[in-house]
Amino acid sequence: MVTERFSALFEFNRAVKAVTNNFRQYVIALVMTLFYTAVYLVASIVLVGIPCLAFGANYFMVEFYRTARK
């Protein structure tokens, strides 16, 4: 279900406010994303981690913005 306009995708002020208001959670999400990427880069050596790395790299950042939006 679409709840916002297309122009809402370009409201960078909302993203900046979400980061500045929740800076600690943002840093935690960033560190978790870096750890996730490192683990699946190692798993990519045996070709298992490539799909996970491609689709899951932004999961923690998406969760941060989803919870910061509420």
Over 60: is that where the pLDDT of 2 sits?
Answer: no
Helix segments in 1-70, DSSP class H: 12-21, 23-43, 50-56, 59-69
Are 52 and 43 contacting, i.e. CB atoms less than 8 angstroms apart? yes
Q: What is the pLDDT of residues 8-63, one digit of tens each?
A: 667 778 778 888 888 998 898 889 889 988 888 887 777 777 777 777 777 888 88
Q: Which residue has the tokens 């406010």?
A: 17
Q: What is the pLDDT of residue 3?
A: 62
Q: What is the pLDDT of residue 31?
A: 92
Q: What is the pLDDT of residue 4?
A: 66
pTM: 0.65
Residues 6+ apart with CB under 8 A from 18: 26, 64, 65, 68, 69
Are 32 and 58 contacting, i.e. CB atoms less than 8 angstroms apart? no
